[in-house]
Amino acid sequence: MAGIAPNNSGVDGAAFSGLKNRLLLPSWLTIGVLLVIPVLLMLVYSFLTKEFRGGVVWEFSIAAYDQFFLDRGLFGDEPVKIEWTYINIFIRSIVQAGLATFFCLLIGFPTAYYIATRPPSTRAFWLFMVTVPYWVNLLIRTVSMKFLIRDSGPLNQWLLQLGVISEPIHLINTNVAVQLGLFYSYLPFMVLPIYAAVERFDFALVEAAHDLYADRMTTLRRVLIPAVKPGIIAGCILVFVPSLGAFLAPDLLGGAKNFMIGSLIEEQFKGSAGNWPFGAAASMILLSLVLVVLMFYARNEARSRS
């Protein structure tokens, strides 16, 4: 009977689940080839021994992680101390990325709010304007920024002529310049998700809040911001994570003193001076850091949903 009578759904369950797996294959392949395998490669490389002219020797070693965290002296016979050089680079990167996120939020939120509250016919225009600079390659934009802010660049010339300053502000090769570069590079990643959230926001709720004696600031704090929080968090992640690993802005605007993780990793794989296992280890540490941030977000999200 079972072979003849159709089951309730009228579909052969087993055959269908086989088809489902085959239809999902492209996604599995994409994730596998583009995500899982490269990360595993990096993980493996970080535990190999370095070859002097770049590349690796296939021999297990934790030298890369050792070099990252510990200072064993020049000949490895001194008492073990913590190596601060790379940890400091990480801390600087986190601070820079955090500040970039903060400034992007500070400017991006009002921008997104402004665009989302325009008449629907003009919103597309404003969104387009936000994205226009990003049609130009990031490298070119960063180099241009360098020309704009250098001591004899237009910004300083202009301020000098106006008499606001008596001598050029030295911006290039400072943390401020790196910050400026990061902020400028990632601002739209803050604006767009917040815009999407504010656009979906029901502004009748603002009226309801005013009706219940809330002033404008309280309405912003207790009604608008909680309602668009998912957009704000998405924007913060989209700015913080790439800022943390950025290397163009710190390389071109920050110079040697204002190294960030991105530049550190980049250097390990460039030319013959590099150290592949060390670069891979730094990458894995960066990846763990990012994962911690994302897991924190996911847990927060799950808690607020339940």
Cα–Cα dist 95/221, whole Å: 26
Q: Specify the residue, 85 or 218, whose C-beta has the smaller distance to another protein.
A: 218
- For another protein, the closer CB: 22 or 305: 305
In this complex, which beta carbon is closest to another protein, that of residue 222 or of residue 299?
Answer: 222
43 or 206: whose CB is closer to another protein? Answer: 206
Q: How far is the CB of 304 from another protein (least distance, A)?
A: 8
Give the nearer residue to another protein in terms of CB position, either 166 or 306: 306
CB of 301 to another protein, least distance (A): 13
We find the least distance from the C-beta atom of residue 8 to another protein, in angstroms, to be 30
Would you tell me which residues interact with another protein (CB under 8 A)? 202, 204-205, 207-215, 218, 222-223, 226-227, 229
CB of 102 to another protein, least distance (A): 23
- For the bound state, the minimum distance from the C-beta of residue 113 to another protein, rounded and expressed in Å, comes to 18
